[in-house]
Each structure stands twice: as structure tokens, then as C-alpha cells.
Structure 1
Amino acid sequence: MYNSNNKFDVIIVGGGHAGIEAAVASAKMKKKTLLITSNIDTIGQMSCNPAIGGIGKSHLVKEIDALNGIMAIATDYSGINFKILNKSKGPAVRSTRAQTDRELYKKTIKYILSKQKNLLFFQQEVKKIIIKNYQVTGIITKNNDIINAKVIILTTGTFLNGKIYIGLNNQYHGGRINDSSSKELANFLNEELPLTKGRLKTGTPPRIDKRSINFSKLEVQYSDIPLPCFSFIGNSKQHPKQLPCYITYTNKNTHQIIIDNITKSPMYSGLITSKGPRYCPSLEDKIIRFPNREKHQIFLEPEGIFNSEIYPNGISTSFPYNIQLSIIKSIKGLENACITRLGYAVEYDFYDPRGLKPTMESKFIKRLFFAGQINGTTGYEEAAVQGLIAGLNAALLIDNKKQWFPLRNQAYMGVLIDDLCTLGTKEPYRMFTSRAEHRLLLRENNADIRLTKIGYKLGLVNDIRWQKFNEKLNNIEKLYQKIKNFNINYDNKIKIKKLNSLLKSPIKEKLNGISLLKRSEINHKNLIELKIFDFNIKNIEVIEYIETELKYKGYIKRQLELIKKQKKNENILIPIDIKFNDIRSLSNEAKDKFYFYKPYTLGQASRIPGITPADVSILLIYLLKKKREIA
């Protein structure tokens, strides 16, 4: 089947979260797609915590869903504990998080992929990419099979030269426990391609047998009621059985064990020199970096409905077995705990994402795309976003259509891609709401309103999702008109009395529903509970969207005006072969920075550290002059 006469449109190398979304996007764009991975059984594997979402990350999942990706759908069918984080804060930073059943998530992903037209799978390791005249034409597998393709997308995760560490004397090559690393492909990329390589590190905690835990000593956390959903076309009936999570803490004894044995950690013995994720540090890092903290929170999270293992979120470590066990047993509720799997650290190769266009295509090798941890990110959600954008643009490139990537003011996707491609990263990149300067516009609850229409025009969104999206828009408009036409008269003393109990200043005039919802002291839940609104609201998400738009209308308007001013020159493309030295008015410092960062657009150039508005103006004038000369 796989020979020199067999040609695919797109080949995706790697079956992790980036590879999955890339494959689905490419196939939905009607491209003959091959997903090649060293082990088909691990497609959709959650290598670390089986959880989706969280602060900032959930916005990415919602955006993937708005563009018809599958991460949110799979989470709704496998989530066993759903929470809304930051509920007491503003709508811009509220985030959904779901603990999932590890096996059920993987099975759901594989089922969806198996039903996807235009998508085939092949279990084999890739050792080389075929490149002619700086353009990819195919791949060579470990068995020397040649498979031709128009586009290659690399989504290799932690497998490129991956090396696993458990203690000082237990280290071996692997991209994940029980999975070998991809050394031949890594060597090819390092030796044959003009790419800037780096080395990063991540880790995972030991797993614990839940039968050995004394849960009666621990704080319990149940799912929120009503149960949240991730997908805009999902519902809570799709969720499986819900299980509680638990909270415990490290203590002074735990910390002393770590301090006494710190030289036995690969990270503090000099064995590991690469950087790990700053916002998801190992337990060793926590104790050394924060010596005055008396305790650190640990979430004990179930790995599945029929799984006896617990994931202790917050104690990632690479200590040897005996020290890992001592640490575990020093923690409240875990005094008699049994470890089922050891925690470990893994080092792996990544490539400077500044060598990519915002479409995820290499600036140096045509039709070669990179997505996921190979670009220096960490997290399932960050990887999946890049995969979707790469798969989409691979298809558009093949069709000779204009490629698309989200801007910073359109999506968290845009923030992530712009951060990577403009600034690069020296540590595993993780998404946070604080990274987005327009986060009031980029909320969870409007991801579909921001992106689904774009996805439909591009060919990613199918008719079923498009119809449901338009039904939502109609429901929003109908409910808005109902609220607008709803009036409460001062004569209605019962309702007035209820309202005044919530307000800082009493009502003295006739008010409609819009005026009520604009007030900071009142929310839609108050009005429903007190039966102020006398109409049935079936879809809470719809009224939540309307309320947010009303309450923050002034702020939203100001952000939109600012974006409008910035937008004029944001997307002006900078030729890859531009000679910055020819721009005489530019300072030498600016020229050096432009050569180093290789900005793809004028917007990217403006966000390079140390670049001034004057530098951007000079560059703009030069580009416009060149454009007139060509015309």
C-alpha cells in the first residue's frame, strides 16, 4: 500500500493532541491524510494528568471546538469531574476544567478518528523527511518505506531525543514511560535542516493506589451543579459518572525529606540542565524556590471510573523510588499509600518557533509544518491548537488558497501563536489569561461567536454545527428583545421590594430588563430566583452571554476602538528575503533584532522587545515604497 507511487496530500507525524487535531482539520478540508505514529494504541494518550482545561487553557479548548475540532467533544464524553474556576471573578477569566477518564478519553478520540473520512493510519516510526529544493516531498520510515506527500506536519511531542530520568542511576531514552524516543528523526532534523534546536524538560508525579488512601482525612471536591460542558454543541447528558477529587497538602516533614535528599534529584545533581515549565514546577523546585512556604496544595484526582489509580497533582518529581515513597507517606491521608507508577522527568528536543510563519509552516523548508511541544509549548490544549492551525493551513496551501491564522484580538490561539512565532520561548510555554491584552473580548462564552463563522467560510465547520450556531444566534436575539421589552413599574411593589433588597440605591423610576442587567449588583440568577423575569429561560448560556455584553459594553467598545487603530498595519507581510541592512534609516540595533526574530508581519515586528514605534514606521515606509516599485 505504501510505496513510491502512493501519494498523500498531508502526512502528520505523531498521534498526540497536536497530531489528532491536525489530522482531523486536514481530513475535514477533504485532503487525503495519513496519521503515522510509532504506536496506534497510544493515539490520544494523556501522558500526564488526564485533565482538560483550566485557567486560560479552557479558552483554547472552546476555540478549538468553535472551529470544529474534537478535544471539547471528547472531554464531554469522558469528563468525570467538571468545575468552573474563578467563578467569583469577572467573565473574562472564568475557566472550565474537567478531570477525564484516561481510557475513555482515548477511546472517544479513536472512535471519532475512525469515523473521519479522508483519514488513514499507519503504525511506523519515521526516520527522515524527503526534501528537494528546500521543499518536502515525503517521508522515509524506519523500514525504509517511502511515502510521498504534498505537506508534512511534525507533531512529535517529547519523543525527539527524549530521555527519561528516575533518580541518578535510572535514565534511558524514551519519549514517555514505556515508549521509545525518536532518535533517528531527531538526528536527521539536527544534521540536515537549518533549524535552531533547544532542549526542554517536563515531568510527572507518581501514581497512587486509591485503595491505600484515607480519604476521610481529606477535603472533598465534587463536580459543579449544573454540570458545565466544553463543546458548544454538547450537553451534560453526554458526561459519564461523576467522581469526587480530594485536596491534601505537603508539610514541614515532606519538605525536610526533599531538602535532605536534594542531591539525589537529577535536576539538582547536574544531570538535567534544561528548563522545565515555570508554572508547573516539580516538587523539588517548589521546596527550593519557596523555602518559606510551610505547605503546598495537592489535588488527588481519579484517573478513571474503572481505574484504581489516583493522580496526585502538584508533586511532579524525578527522585528515586525510596524517596518518592517517603514523600508520599509523609502527606496527610497518604500515610499508608502505595505507589503504582513512579514519577519521572523527561528531556527532549524542540525547535525555535521563531523559525515558523504564524500558519505553522517553516520559514526555511516549504510545506513543512510544526505543531505542539516540538515548538516549545507544554500542555495538551496548547498542542491541539497548533495542530488545528497547521492542519487547516496545510489544506489551504495545497488548494492555493489564502492561508489563515487568528490574530491576538481574535482568539487566545492568536496570542499563543504570535507569542511563539514573534518572541520564541526559553521555557515550556503555557497559556494564561494574563497573556491576552484583549481578554475581555476573548471569553469562553463567545469563542463560537468569534470563530465559527470564520471556520465555516474556511471549510472546517460542517452544516450541522453551522445550523446549531445560527440557532444560538437567533436565541440570543429573541431573548435580548424579550429582556429589552420587559418592564418593571414602580407600582409593582412586590417586585420592587425584591429588587431593592439587592440594590445599593432603591429604584425610583420605571426600568426595563436591559437597565436591570446592566447594574453591577444584579445578575441574571437573582432575577430568575426572585421571579423578577416572568419568562422561561431554557438556555442559561444565552442569557449569560447577553448579560456579559451589557455589563461590559463600555469596556468592550474601548477595546474595539483600540484594535481598530492597531489593525491598519498589523497584517502587512514582510518578505522572507528582505534585506534589513538596505534600510538606511534603521538603527543597527533594530536591524540586528529584525534579522534575529525574522518577523513575518509588521504587527510581529512591532512586538519585538526593544523595537520602537519609529523603527516600525521606517520599516512600513520601506515596505510601501517597495510595493509601489513592484506595481
Structure 2
Amino acid sequence: MFQEYDVIVVGAGHAGCEAAHAAATMGSKVLLCTMNMNTIAQMSCNPAMGGVAKGQIIREIDALGGLSGIISDKSMIQFRMLNRSKGPAMWSPRSQNDRMRFAEEWRLALENTPNVDFWQEMVTSLIVKDKRVIGVETGIGIEIFAKSVVLTNGTFLNGLIHIGEKQFGGGRTGESAARGITEQLVELGFEAGRMKTGTPPRVDGRSLDYSKMEIQYGDENPEKFSYSDETTTLTEQRTCWITYTNPSVHKSLEEGFDRSPMFNGRIQGLGPRYCPSIEDKINRFAERDRHQIFVEPEGWNTVEIYVNGFSTSLPEDIQYKALRKIEGFENAKMFRPGYAIEYDYFPPTQLNLTLETQLIENLYFAGQINGTTGYEEAACQGLIAGINASLKTQEKEPFLLKRSDAYIGVLIDDLINKGTEEPYRMFTSRAEFRLLLRQDNADLRLTPLGHKLGLASDERMNKVLQKEKNTNTLLNDLKDKKLSPEEINSALEEVNSAPIHEKITVEKLIKRPNIGLSTFLSMDNDLSSYLSTFSKDEIEQAEIQIKYDSYLQKEQQMVEKMSNMEHFKIPSSFNYLDITALSAEGKQKLSKIRPETLGQASRISGVSPADLSIITVYLGK
């Protein structure tokens, strides 16, 4: 009935979709297994993509040739560039999306990807032979064989939903939990754990009074995620709103604390630290008399509203009573209550940097199964797992991204070397080279790598080469072009910048904190005419490189210094337990994670500089 596949992807969430698309685009025969074809790429939680550091990840996925950026653009209802008031390393694109259109666009994209087949059924076990995965078995006993398997099970592995004192099995509201895989993997020697996440209630937008809320508009000149010409920017946007909880809301919520699964011990898994439930917020921050609530539409035409900031697992009657005490929500009608969900995950220290498991060859994990939270974190892992599963079946070298290459590289390096005991979320602060890893230059950094893999098209590559060429031309010309006091002083006065008294290069002027190339674009002279021949992206790229030149050079020097340690390879057979001089914790962590290089070893929590010196001596011998 089935051919033998190169790659079987289990789960069709954000990780599974990226994995299936990447492997198939690279020439592998792919089977995407999902329990429900109607929930492919379901936005289980908030209808949004991107945000701080997450927006950088979406741009990196797009630059490599993944689809999350394109799908986000096609389903976007509002765009905002966050942190514009800060430096460019902090700028983070975020979109509000049409939930139904997002899922539809992903399904259509996968159906139009050659080499992708679909099978709707629960996968209950893996077929493993001689510590190598060779296929999967489904709930009705069908065996399907493949050279590699990528598990992207999300919150479905033994998922347990909590609403107050009620609990029932499920991977998502209205959908069954997946059983069998965890138990088999534990039997094979894997370590498993439990995590928790949650979602807020959904309400009827027709029942809200928006006049009592603050309006949150999208950007006046919205951008998009994808660097490709396949998508366009929005010409109209939907509005979001902001309101707040109050002491009356908090008092109503506290009435249900004795029935809260989070406080009475029924939930064992740790939840996301940076996205706590509303009951957790008012418990941890008792001194605050209000918390922000974002009122977000679920799409262009639907009346369903996502109550961002009100994630909860309290009883539904408590949720309803408290909701109606929020300003603007006095007559709110609830579509469904919020809930918490517990699920199995596998500590990611059991993986290689390719996301292949150390215990079972050709088996890859991606997404929440690795302890992460968020669509973007899941999608980028799916992309990397799909790429490497495909490369391995083709007997090619693996694809690895370093911490200095991408936020994706930071995320995977963190997971493999440090592990996580709570849902891992990406932040700009996690990246030591964040000035190099900006959202605006992801195409320059990663499209050549994606093109080499066969993911990014020739058209994409040519576009990047043209952008690079034009930016360099502009940079060189700005070093030579000089302006006289007569040409520039009036413009400098307008932005409260000191006047000049002799000719000065444009490059030096741009280094001033409140001067940008837009200052010159508004002038009526040859320079503004010249600048108008370049694209907005090229002008922005040149300006950033000029303003932050010294900082960029310092970061690049740090990258080169760290890369030297990556050249010190550690043999896979290296026996840390035999080295008596190593610390006890160092022996334990190094033996468990089995780093491939001295650089990777240096990033393992608990491995000291003294441990590294000792390993270096032994490697030298």
C-alpha cells in the first residue's frame, strides 16, 4: 500500500510543516502523518507570528527557504515592528494573523509541494531495528517504512487538559492525545519529562465595548516577513485593542484559587516563565493592581477574539465572572474557556546538533517535544530536522548553524548543551552576537546557505547578490561624497544637530546619533536623487553598517576568537570518566551530552574553564 519513504514526519504543526516542506524540496520522498488533515498548521494559541527575537527567527527561516514567513505574510491582518525606539539589533517584526487563512495557506503550500504525501491517522509507535528507526506503526496497525523519522508531536504526547477541577485527555481542545510513543521511547532508554502550557478564553467580539479600550494600530508603513517577491505588504489592517485587569477582576479570580489545578498540585509540569497564567501573575505580583490585556481579532471576518494576557486553567465559571469585570468586557460572551495542558517532552540534551537523537539513529525530534514553546521556535527546529533528515538519506554532510550564524543556531545550541527544565523561549538577550544577527540582514547571512541546500531558489539568490552589491556601492560612495555647510546646515538645524563649518563626508554625518539617510532623502539636491535609486532595504543596510561599524567589528572579532575553539574536534569515543582531573559535574555533563568540539563543550552548563584546559591537554596528546 505504501512505498518506502525517505522521511516520515509525525505531526503537522509548525515544526512538522517546515520539516516536510524542507525535506521534500531537497528531493526526499516525504510522508506527513497527522491525526487530522483539517488542523494542519493550526494556530493552537495566539493568532500571531514573530515578536521579540521570534521575528528574527521567522526572517531566518524565510532566508533559508522555509515557508513560515511567506505563510505569515499571506495571512497577515496587522504588522508592527517592535522596539523601533531601540537599536536595530532589537527591532523585531510581528504580525497579527487570520487563524483560518494561516492554516489554509500552509495546507495549500504543502499540497503543492512535490514529493509530499499525507496520511491521516495517529502514529502509536516507531519501528526500530538495531538502534535505527526504520518506520512507524499507526493506530490501526499499518506499518510504513522510511529511512528516517522526524517526531514533531507538539502537546499531544499523553496530553492532559485542565479546567478547574476537571481534567481529560487531549492534545488540544476537541482533539485526542497521542499515546504509545512516550512509553516506547522510555523503554528504549530515553529520559522523559512533563511540561505545561496554557491558553486564554475566546470571546465574541460583538459583545465587547471597544470605546472603553485603547486602540492599537498597526505600523503606518507596514513591512512583511518574507524577502521574496511572492508576497506584498498590507494595504489595509485590522485594529487591536488594549485594556487592563483591575482589583475587582483579581478578587474574582482569587475566589477560584482553591479549585485551581496549578495551586492544588494537580499540574506537575512546569509552565512557561515568560508567559504565565493570569492566576500566576496576580499571585506572583500581588503588589500590582492591574495587568495588561491585549484584545486581538482571530481574522479578517470572524468575530472571535483572542484575550491575550488572560491565559488560565481556573474553573470556567470563575473565568467568566472575572472576564466580565474587565473594562469593555462587561457584557462579554465566551466562546470557550481557557485551559492548561500538560504533555510529555524529552530533554534535548539527548540530541545531536542536527536534532538527530543520540540513542536511535535516523530519528529526529523537533518542536515542543524538545521542551520549547512558541510557533517560531518549533518551526525553525522543524526546518533544521527536515534538512538534516533529508541530507542523511542522501548520504551528505549535515547542516549546522553556529551561534554566530543565526538565532536558530543559538536556540539549538542552548537546547543541546544546556537543556531546559521549563518551556524554552527565545529572547534577543540569549544571543551574544545579536548585533550581527539582525532581522534586516537574515537574507545576506543565510540565503547563500539555503541556496546551496537547494531550498532557496536561484531568483532568491540573485536578489540577495544584487542587494549586497548595491549596498556595498552605496557604502563606498557615502565615504567619498562630501557636503558643504551651505548644503546641509539647515537640515542639521531641523534635527537639533550641530552645524558643520567645512565640507564633511556623508559617512561621518551619518555616524551622528540623530542623523540618518532619510535626512538627506528629504533634501532637494543631487544626493537625494542618487539615494532614491536604491531600495529601502539597501539604504537601511548601509546606514546600520555605518552607524554601528565599530561595534560590528568587535562582535566579528569575538566570533573569530570563538570559532577557533570549534576547530578542536573531540572524538566520539573520548572517555571523560577516565580523566581523574576533571570535575565530577564536568565528567557527568560531558559524558551525557558528548560535545563534538571544544567550543560546544565550553557552553555546557557545569563545565568549568579548568575542565576545558584539561581536555585540551588530552586532545593535544
Structure 1 residue 566, shift from structure 2 partner: 1.4
The separation in 2 between residues aligned to 1:239 and 1:32, in whole angstroms, is 36
Structure 1 residue 313, shift from structure 2 partner: 0.4
Structure 1 residue 195, shift from structure 2 partner: 0.7
Residue 22 of structure 2: aligned partner: 25
Q: Is 1:564 the counterpart of 2:560 in the alignment?
A: yes
The separation in 1 between residues aligned to 2:593 and 2:27, in whole angstroms, is 35
Mapped contact 1:503–1:522 kept (Cα < 8 A): no
Residue 137 of structure 2: aligned partner: 140
Query: After superposition, where does 1:123-134 map in structure 2 within 5 Å?
Result: 123-134=120-131
Task: Name whichever of 318-327 and 456-465 sits farther off.
Answer: 456-465
Q: 2:519 aligns with which of 500, 522, 526?
A: 526
Query: After superposition, where does 1:235-384 map in structure 2 within 5 Å?
Result: 237=232, 239=234, 241-384=236-379
Mapped contact 2:222–2:233 kept (Cα < 8 A): no
Q: Is 1:487 the counterpart of 2:497 in the alignment?
A: no
Query: After superposition, where does 1:555-594 map in structure 2 within 5 Å?
Result: 555-594=551-590
* Closer, same or farther: CA 572–31 of 1 in aligned 2, 3 Å: farther
The separation in 2 between residues aligned to 1:544 and 1:470, in whole angstroms, is 16
Mapped contact 2:15–2:152 kept (Cα < 8 A): yes
Q: 2:489 aligns with which of 483, 492, 496?
A: 496
The separation in 2 between residues aligned to 1:267 and 1:588, in whole angstroms, is 36
Residue 75 of structure 1: aligned partner: 72
* Closer, same or farther: CA 172–28 of 1 in aligned 2, 3 Å: same
Q: 1:112 aligns with which of 102, 109, 112?
A: 109
Structure 1 unmatched ranges of 5 or more: 626-631
Q: Deviations over 1:204-240 (max 9, x none)?
A: 0000100000001111011102111101114773547
The separation in 2 between residues aligned to 1:155 and 1:511, in whole angstroms, is 57
* Closer, same or farther: CA 446–211 of 1 in aligned 2, 3 Å: same
* Closer, same or farther: CA 589–320 of 1 in aligned 2, 3 Å: closer
Structure 1 residue 479, shift from structure 2 partner: 3.1
Q: Specify the SS of the correspondent of 1:87.
A: coil
The separation in 1 between residues aligned to 2:356 and 2:312, in whole angstroms, is 35
The separation in 2 between residues aligned to 1:608 and 1:357, in whole angstroms, is 13
Q: Is 1:619 the counterpart of 2:615 in the alignment?
A: yes
Structure 1 residue 598, shift from structure 2 partner: 3.3
Residue 13 of structure 2: aligned partner: 16
The separation in 2 between residues aligned to 1:407 and 1:239, in whole angstroms, is 34
The separation in 2 between residues aligned to 1:17 and 1:500, in whole angstroms, is 50
Counterpart of 1:136, as a letter, is V
* Closer, same or farther: CA 319–571 of 1 in aligned 2, 3 Å: farther
Residue 156 of structure 2: aligned partner: 159
Counterpart of 2:67, as a letter, is I
Residue 90 of structure 2: aligned partner: 93
Over the matched positions of the two proteins, sequence identity in percent amounts to 46
Structure 1 residue 508, shift from structure 2 partner: 1.6
Structure 1 residue 241, shift from structure 2 partner: 4.4
Mapped contact 1:281–1:316 kept (Cα < 8 A): yes
Residue 66 of structure 1: aligned partner: 63
The separation in 1 between residues aligned to 2:481 and 2:468, in whole angstroms, is 20
The separation in 2 between residues aligned to 1:595 and 1:60, in whole angstroms, is 31
Mapped contact 1:77–1:238 kept (Cα < 8 A): no
The separation in 2 between residues aligned to 1:136 and 1:580, in whole angstroms, is 28
Q: Deviations over 1:509-545 (max 9, x none)?
A: 2122222222212122233234564221552121111
Structure 2 unmatched ranges of 5 or more: none
Q: Is 1:443 the counterpart of 2:452 in the alignment?
A: no
Q: Deviations over 1:541-593 (max 9, x none)?
A: 21111111111100110111111111112254434443212224323342133
Q: Is 1:610 the counterpart of 2:606 in the alignment?
A: yes
Task: Name whichever of 556-565 and 152-161 sits farther off.
Answer: 556-565
Q: Is 1:553 the counterpart of 2:549 in the alignment?
A: yes
Aligned length: 618
Counterpart of 1:142, as a letter, is G
Structure 1 residue 397, shift from structure 2 partner: 1.2
Mapped contact 1:165–1:346 kept (Cα < 8 A): yes
Q: Deviations over 1:389-446 (max 9, x none)?
A: 1011111111222112111111100110011000100100000001111111110001
Structure 1 residue 483, shift from structure 2 partner: 3.2
Mapped contact 2:491–2:519 kept (Cα < 8 A): no
The separation in 1 between residues aligned to 2:311 and 2:520, in whole angstroms, is 45
Residue 172 of structure 1: aligned partner: 168
Residue 47 of structure 2: aligned partner: 50
The separation in 1 between residues aligned to 2:235 and 2:111, in whole angstroms, is 21
Mapped contact 1:174–1:180 kept (Cα < 8 A): yes
Counterpart of 1:599, as a letter, is P
Q: 1:414 aligns with which of 409, 417, 427?
A: 409
Query: After superposition, where does 1:386-425 map in structure 2 within 5 Å?
Result: 386-425=381-420
* Closer, same or farther: CA 241–180 of 1 in aligned 2, 3 Å: farther
Mapped contact 1:500–1:507 kept (Cα < 8 A): no
The separation in 2 between residues aligned to 1:109 and 1:593, in whole angstroms, is 40
The separation in 1 between residues aligned to 2:567 and 2:355, in whole angstroms, is 16
The separation in 2 between residues aligned to 1:457 and 1:248, in whole angstroms, is 48
The separation in 1 between residues aligned to 2:524 and 2:131, in whole angstroms, is 67
Q: Deviations over 1:430-468 (max 9, x none)?
A: 000011111111100011111111121222222121122
Counterpart of 1:32, as a letter, is K
Counterpart of 2:607, as a letter, is I
Task: Name whichever of 475-484 and 612-621 sits farther off.
Answer: 475-484
The separation in 2 between residues aligned to 1:475 and 1:559, in whole angstroms, is 24
Q: Specify the SS of the correspondent of 2:311.
A: coil
Counterpart of 2:515, as a letter, is I
Residue 185 of structure 1: aligned partner: 181
Mapped contact 1:80–1:240 kept (Cα < 8 A): no
Task: Name whichever of 560-569 and 68-77 sits farther off.
Answer: 560-569
TM-score by length of 1: 0.95
